[in-house]
Structure 1
Amino acid sequence: MRQSGLVKPPHVFDRVSEWEALVAFVERPLPQAMLGVVSGRRRMGKTYLLRALVEQYGGFYFGATAGTATESLRQFGAALAEHVGSPAPLSFTTWDDAISSLFDLASPGGRVAGGKVSRLVVIDEFPYLVKVAPELPSLIQREIDRHQTRESRMRMLLCGSAMSVMGGLLASTAPLRGRAQLELVVRPFGYRAAAEFWGVADEPALAARLHAVLGGTPAYRRQFLADDVPENLRAFDDWICRTVLSPFSPLFREARYLLAEEADIRDTALYHSVLAAVAQGNTTRGGIAGYIGRKAVDISHPLNVLEDSHLLVRESDVFRAGKSQYRVAEPLINFYEAVMRPAWARLESGQATEVWGQATERFAAQVAGPHFEAVCRDYVIGPGRSLLSTSLGEVGSGIVTDSAERRQLQVDVAVVEPGSGGQRPSVALLGEAKWGTVMGSGHLERLNRARELLAGRGFDTAHCGLAFFSAAGFSDSLRAAAERGGVLLVGLDELYGRAMPIGFVP
């Protein structure tokens, strides 16, 4: 992909939009210093991406490590000396001196021993430095402001994996608030890109299971598993027992490490309990509090920290204002809490095959099922968007209360357009998703009933189509309904682009 004449290296998989944003940031023709913040959970390939960018531009890259302020300053001086070609190490007394010198070197004419700093400067693992030198954001802010009135080539990128720290750099009254021209979050690969990355795009059933366990984290295939990929769906059970469930695999304790690495998490037992509650199906604030034996008000902080860390996501009910549910955002953590943690002692003793054999129903209900619902919503937002005849509204899920039947109807996928200018809010799509169930006329009746109830509550449902997503298939009666119109059927082949959806949405 070409952007401003710079081609993304072929070894960087996907990340087209991220690469274009980074190139546009570096090449923006402003004569003043610019700042960018790059964040994302660990194992997403941020360093890999930024190193490729630095290689393309000949920029300066410094990867911080956990250490004291003095040691980190010494390492920074050594790295900068190597970059500018200085025959002697650059010695800085304070970080104030180091940051001032870095910006001065990036100004026209800034040189050291015949070398010069290029316009691109990347400081990776920035939270390590902030921990030992909390004045760094203020020092960078001062230099950014100082170099707004003088010519500078500086294009500085601060990168880190501690999401709570990186998110706080530009928040509220933080020193760097309003100084950044780029804020890029490197997220996991989408489910289709992940299937391509793992080389299983031609087997949607296998791809769906891999994504339900490991998500779209690129490091898990090559760095963690050395390209150990199941050959086909039949090989999946053996593969998961020798990798994720094996005490000798680096993935075995990865979920614990992901939680422990977050700077704002102190009591890991409490946070694991919160995540376990959600994994067990307790998705409301009250349900989570009841599961762990706390009052709802007492879990506000851990919920906020987990959200800030991108380990938990809160999803609003599209039909009921003020109502929401929580979902574990990291598939491996959800798999750990639902399948591994309850049988941890047995897994440590090497009983992976037995544990996995007994976890079939739990995996389907607590891991694959909820994950499949989220993938279906991603499909509607992305590849399936063209199936809707109206503009895309809010995509989410919600509950429709049926007072007459004294029941609640869960709608897994919904597209709702808010009302404006006196118009009623409209519902463009209602969908149900099932991982292990062949869907039939009963599911059609339930969604029809939800549509009727929403119309009675004032929603415009005149152009509302019904969609059914299933990893197990559809009955003949439901297929016949799709052929008559107004009903859409989407299976795994359709989700992964190997077939066209059955039926259409009016």
Structure 2
Amino acid sequence: MDKPSYMFDRDREWAALARFVGNEAPGATLGVVYGRRRQGKTFLLDAVCTATGGFFFAATEATEAETLSRLGAELAQFLGLPSAVGLTDWYQAVDWLLALGRERPIPVVIDEFPYLVQASPALPSIIQRAYAPNRAERTGSRARLLLCGSAMSFMGGLLTGTAPLRGRAGLEMVVPTLDYRSAARFWEIEDPRLAARMHCIVGGTPAYRTEFAHGDSPAGPTDFDAWVVRNVLDRDSPLFREARHLLAEEPNIRDQGLYHSVLGAIAGGNNTRSGIASCIGRKVSDLAHPLTVLEDSGLVNREEDVFRAARATYTIAEPLVTFYHAIMRPEWSRLDRAGQAARVWTESTERFHGRVVGPHFEFLCREWAQLHAAPEVFGAAPSRVGRGVVNDSEQRRSHVVDVAVIGSTPGECRPLLAIGEAKWGERMGVGHLDRLRRIRTIVRGRADLDAAAARLVCFGGAGFSNQLRAAAEEDDDVVLVDVADLYRRSGRI
């Protein structure tokens, strides 16, 4: 099953679906495909059905009776029957879907599955019954039933705990956003600094270019500001309210005011649970449920501190949500009036670089270190890359480490391959290097980390001083990485 030439990227997802759909083994199988909206799940699964002659049913928000009627009509059209299939309930409907695979392996896709369960809560249990191990309708079929949805917390819960479908699925695929390098190619952006700034707003969501911006990509670095004004801050643009819609689409989020406050606090730099609680005026214990829901929804990431196991920080997973809370939400009343977008954007430069680009650049540096850096950069391949805080008891202060690279050598004493600092708008100098040296000295005294050979990495979005460059030439432990290095395919610097 060759991937269509018009499909960008998604090689891994296409290969996994090809294996699942093309499996000749007898017996119907079940797969679950999910991910946040606008990532191209429907596009991907529709292409699979087109390539294999599969059946694709897109659910809508409707009553059970209306949905069954429409499903019966589409089944008749697919099978070439003169009239609609009369479906009285989902027991009968699922068996009709399984019957599609009596003669050959065939993908049977139900898109927007949560809509069906909303009207028919028993549907997962009905599918469980249909997939009983020795049931003739299952063993005599090679239907490859794929349930797809965008409600992350709901779809992720279909196969967990005591859920009816747990243990029934042969495929669980999460369709992610494009990584930052693929996103640059998708937007056809060659300038690394422009690509990084674009990614800190729209991330790797394909639909933001194809459907929301109608293919409009910045003509170059000098067009970036105008692009933001006409595509993100324009009240008539689909991107203008997109961040709000992302929150509203999650069924488990009811008190949207609370969740927006939590996201706003994180976007403002309050990354710990106590910091978020203090910012929004709630108790720390009150945040357990909202943060869990946001994690399950794929809107927030929880990251363990590399140096302190009991400490975690929270970051927003969707760049557009960060941009909304840092730039748009504080100025919403002005932006919602015509003619104010350009002025608001001009006045938001400092906030944009401090709250949006700076933290996102740190994220890109960690992504590069984990996924793209050549092994010789750190002396070995990393097993984990994160961030953390190192306490300096002598100077009575704490040092934030933007990038900490841990090696894979087994044992209680983990090798610390590198510690790094990332600065987007500040030219890095020997002062930054001295701070990293101080941190390395502190960490070398720990029993759980072997920092003897830890390299010191300066990630400079605005370049490096001549003194720092000279220091890097004299000391092999000092590594300088600029924005262009993050996008260089070889991973070397």
- TM-score bin, normalised by smaller chain: over 0.9
Aligned counterparts, 1:403-418, within 5 A: 403-417=393-407
CA displacement, residues 433-468 of structure 1 (integer Å, 9 cap, x when unaligned):
111111110111111111111111222112211111
Preserved contact between residue 24 and residue 142 of structure 2 (Cα < 8 Å): no
- Whether 1:461 and 2:456 are equivalent positions in the alignment is no
- Match for residue 482 of structure 2? 491
Aligned counterparts, 1:161-180, within 5 A: 161-180=150-169
- Match for residue 372 of structure 1? 361
Residue type of the alignment partner of 1:323: R
Pairing partner for 1:342 from 306, 330, 336: 330
Residue type of the alignment partner of 1:17: R
Displacement after TM superposition at 1:29 (Å): 3.2
Residue type of the alignment partner of 1:261: E
Displacement after TM superposition at 1:67 (Å): 1.1
- Whether 1:134 and 2:124 are equivalent positions in the alignment is no
Once residues 72 and 499 of structure 1 are traced to their aligned partners in structure 2, the CA distance between those partners, rounded to angstroms, is 51
Residue type of the alignment partner of 2:98: F
CA displacement, residues 145-194 of structure 1 (integer Å, 9 cap, x when unaligned):
24677232111111000001101100100011011111110111000000
Once residues 104 and 227 of structure 1 are traced to their aligned partners in structure 2, the CA distance between those partners, rounded to angstroms, is 41
CA displacement, residues 353-382 of structure 1 (integer Å, 9 cap, x when unaligned):
111111111111111111111111110111
Pairing partner for 1:125 from 103, 107, 112: 112
CA displacement, residues 101-137 of structure 1 (integer Å, 9 cap, x when unaligned):
22134224xxxxxxxx862101000000011111111
- Match for residue 3 of structure 1? none
- Whether 1:58 and 2:53 are equivalent positions in the alignment is yes
Preserved contact between residue 124 and residue 165 of structure 2 (Cα < 8 Å): yes
- Whether 1:478 and 2:465 are equivalent positions in the alignment is no
Displacement after TM superposition at 1:58 (Å): 0.5
- Match for residue 258 of structure 2? 270
Displacement after TM superposition at 1:388 (Å): 2.9
- Whether 1:384 and 2:346 are equivalent positions in the alignment is no
Once residues 74 and 379 of structure 2 are traced to their aligned partners in structure 1, the CA distance between those partners, rounded to angstroms, is 56
Residue type of the alignment partner of 2:483: L
Once residues 166 and 155 of structure 1 are traced to their aligned partners in structure 2, the CA distance between those partners, rounded to angstroms, is 18
Pairing partner for 2:37 from 39, 42, 45: 42
- Match for residue 195 of structure 1? 184
Q: Which moved more, 1:148-157 or 1:258-267?
A: 148-157
Residue type of the alignment partner of 1:497: R
CA displacement, residues 318-354 of structure 1 (integer Å, 9 cap, x when unaligned):
1101101000100001000000000000101131111
- What's the Cα RMSD here? 1.5
CA displacement, residues 7-49 of structure 1 (integer Å, 9 cap, x when unaligned):
1101110001111111011122321211111000000000001
Displacement after TM superposition at 1:393 (Å): 2.0
Displacement after TM superposition at 1:499 (Å): 8.4
- Match for residue 424 of structure 1? 413
| Partner-residue secondary structure (3-state), 2:399 | strand
- Match for residue 395 of structure 1? 385
Preserved contact between residue 417 and residue 428 of structure 1 (Cα < 8 Å): yes
Displacement after TM superposition at 1:394 (Å): 1.4
Once residues 460 and 248 of structure 1 are traced to their aligned partners in structure 2, the CA distance between those partners, rounded to angstroms, is 55
Pairing partner for 1:280 from 262, 268, 274: 268
CA displacement, residues 191-239 of structure 1 (integer Å, 9 cap, x when unaligned):
0000000000x21111111100000000000111111111011111111
Once residues 68 and 367 of structure 2 are traced to their aligned partners in structure 1, the CA distance between those partners, rounded to angstroms, is 44
Runs of 4 or more above 6 Å deviation: none
Displacement after TM superposition at 1:493 (Å): 0.9
Preserved contact between residue 43 and residue 217 of structure 1 (Cα < 8 Å): yes
Once residues 180 and 129 of structure 1 are traced to their aligned partners in structure 2, the CA distance between those partners, rounded to angstroms, is 19
Q: Which moved more, 1:470-479 or 1:268-277?
A: 470-479
Percent sequence identity over matched residues? Answer: 52
Once residues 492 and 166 of structure 2 are traced to their aligned partners in structure 1, the CA distance between those partners, rounded to angstroms, is 46
Preserved contact between residue 381 and residue 408 of structure 2 (Cα < 8 Å): no
Once residues 490 and 481 of structure 2 are traced to their aligned partners in structure 1, the CA distance between those partners, rounded to angstroms, is 9
Displacement after TM superposition at 1:418 (Å): 6.8
Q: 1:303 to 1:500 in 2, by over 3 A?
A: closer
Preserved contact between residue 431 and residue 469 of structure 1 (Cα < 8 Å): yes
Give me the TM-score of the superposition, normalised by structure 2.
0.96
Pairing partner for 2:96 from 97, 101, 104: 101
- Match for residue 447 of structure 1? 436
- Match for residue 204 of structure 2? 216
How many pairs are equivalent? 487
- Match for residue 322 of structure 1? 310
Q: Which moved more, 1:270-279 or 1:466-475?
A: 466-475
Q: 1:330 to 1:97 in 2, by over 3 A?
A: same
Pairing partner for 1:246 from 228, 234, 242: 234
Once residues 28 and 397 of structure 1 are traced to their aligned partners in structure 2, the CA distance between those partners, rounded to angstroms, is 42
Residue type of the alignment partner of 1:397: R
Q: 1:101 to 1:498 in 2, by over 3 A?
A: closer
Once residues 125 and 374 of structure 2 are traced to their aligned partners in structure 1, the CA distance between those partners, rounded to angstroms, is 44
Preserved contact between residue 121 and residue 156 of structure 1 (Cα < 8 Å): yes
- Match for residue 225 of structure 2? 237
Once residues 345 and 85 of structure 1 are traced to their aligned partners in structure 2, the CA distance between those partners, rounded to angstroms, is 55
Displacement after TM superposition at 1:290 (Å): 1.0
| Partner-residue secondary structure (3-state), 1:340 | helix
Once residues 148 and 212 of structure 1 are traced to their aligned partners in structure 2, the CA distance between those partners, rounded to angstroms, is 51
Residue type of the alignment partner of 1:206: L
Displacement after TM superposition at 1:317 (Å): 0.2
- Match for residue 78 of structure 2? 83
Give me the TM-score of the superposition, normalised by structure 1.
0.94
Pairing partner for 2:243 from 250, 255, 259: 255
Displacement after TM superposition at 1:389 (Å): 2.4
- Unpaired runs of 5+ residues, structure 2, are none
Once residues 306 and 491 of structure 1 are traced to their aligned partners in structure 2, the CA distance between those partners, rounded to angstroms, is 33
Preserved contact between residue 416 and residue 428 of structure 1 (Cα < 8 Å): yes
Once residues 318 and 266 of structure 1 are traced to their aligned partners in structure 2, the CA distance between those partners, rounded to angstroms, is 33
